[in-house]
Structure 1
Amino acid sequence: MIRIATLGSVALLGLSACNAPEPAPPPAEPAPAPAKPARPPAANTLTPEGFGPLRIGMTRAEIAAALGEDANPDAVGGPDPEACDMFRPTRAPEGLLVMVEDGVLTSVQLTRNTSIATDRGLSVGDTAAEVKQTYGSAAEVSPHKYIEAPAEYITVWTTGDHASAAARGVRYEIDAEGRVQRISVGGPSIQYVEGCA
């Protein structure tokens, strides 16, 4: 009788061990913070596709219809204005320039104007740290061509292609104080460091 009771106890212990919860796995490493998503563009927002009514790929005539002719037609925007020209349309906000290459809008640039933001909410005057935090691992950082660090370029591409006319991106030029001094949006021309070059 004692033997049967002992066997029954052993069997119950074996069954309860089968139903015991497994030990909890070790805590996982925290995942890197994802990039903040783009907000739907407002009327006066810089996006990789342009600004307001300006869309990368528009003709010069379409730019003029959207925001007016060159506000300063006597200024020379490039060494060969027929091949590449930069200007501010008459109805464009202060500090906003367009780049037209071979008659087509290839980029929009913003300087000095802190009232205009990108679709990620970044403006001229924001810090490089804010830009990098906003885009996360999508931000490509390269040294500034003329100014020592912390000056740099932070470029983010929305397409895998960075060289053809279909490429789209945004580039933040960071000054010697570590702040955004220029924002360029559009195609491969956002990589130019000095006007049309």
Structure 2
Amino acid sequence: MIRRLLLTAVVVSLTACNAPEPAQPVPGTPSGEQSAPTVPAGDRLTANGFGPLRIGMTKAEVEAALGLDSDPNSVGGPDPASCDMFRPTRAPEGLLVMLEGGVLTSIWATRNAVLETDRGLNIGDSADEVRRVYGPVVVSEPHKYVEAPAEYLTIWSTTDHASPAARGVKYEIDSDGRVQSIAVGGPSIEYVEGCA
């Protein structure tokens, strides 16, 4: 009987250790309202980061997590000490990091990225799908260089978008009405020309 109880306790403990973590709140989702089921956020773009990357990390922490700049001879910004943008060597194709003053402020998925957000959205999804997934919290702004239907769709987790603590997700929509890039992180997601 004691062996049976011990075996049962071990099985219950192992099951509890392998239980999935509860879903984290998503920016723009009212508290108490659950979003669609998600896979672990570690391998998806979120307003707070991607995989081992977290907004606010130092350059040394970014490099320890995903490696050095994969193309150190390319220009990531006019003054790399104040702003630099690059793909770490172990980052997925199409993923770029932006560091300002040596701190990670945003992460970008470009056209050739095969990444998705914690809401399951990808490069190539329609603007209508972005609006459907996030609902009324989507802020639409005209695209700086391309006529409508090109636009920027942004979802913020705070009302003060200029605050360094602000976090958000921005979808750049192309002239076909589809997502061509995704930026996650702080206020730098609003930049339209990288560091410039």
Give the conservation status (yes or no) of the 8 Å contact 2:93–2:113: no
CA distance in 2, matches of 1:78, 1:41: 32
The residue identity in structure 2 corresponding to 1:61 is: A
The residue identity in structure 2 corresponding to 1:148 is: E
Superposed counterparts of 1:39-58, under 5 Å: 39=38, 41-58=40-57
Q: 1:65 deviation in Å?
A: 0.4
CA distance in 2, matches of 1:151, 1:36: 30
The residue identity in structure 2 corresponding to 1:160 is: T
Aligned position for 2:180: 181
Q: Deviations over 1:119-151 (max 9, x none)?
A: 000000000000001110010001000000000
Q: 1:42 deviation in Å?
A: 3.3
Question: Secondary structure of 2:165's partner?
Answer: coil
CA distance in 2, matches of 1:115, 1:104: 25
CA distance in 1, matches of 2:114, 2:172: 17
Aligned residues: percent identity?
67
Q: Gaps (5+ residues) in structure 1?
A: 1-33
Aligned position for 2:96: 97
Q: Deviations over 1:99-135 (max 9, x none)?
A: 0000000000001245311000000000000000111
Aligned position for 2:25: none
Aligned length: 164
Q: Deviations over 1:51-99 (max 9, x none)?
A: 0000000000000000000000111111111000000000000000000
Q: Deviations over 1:165-197 (max 9, x none)?
A: 100000000000000000000000000010113
Q: When the two structures are superposed, what TM-score results if normalisation uses the length of structure 1?
A: 0.80
The residue identity in structure 2 corresponding to 1:165 is: P
Aligned position for 1:70: 69
Give the conservation status (yes or no) of the 8 Å contact 1:36–1:135: no
Q: When the two structures are superposed, what TM-score results if normalisation uses the length of structure 2?
A: 0.80
CA distance in 2, matches of 1:164, 1:94: 30
CA distance in 2, matches of 1:41, 1:165: 26
Question: 4+ residue runs of structure 1 moved beyond 2 angstroms?
Answer: 38-43, 112-115
Give the conservation status (yes or no) of the 8 Å contact 2:149–2:177: yes
Q: Gaps (5+ residues) in structure 2?
A: 1-29
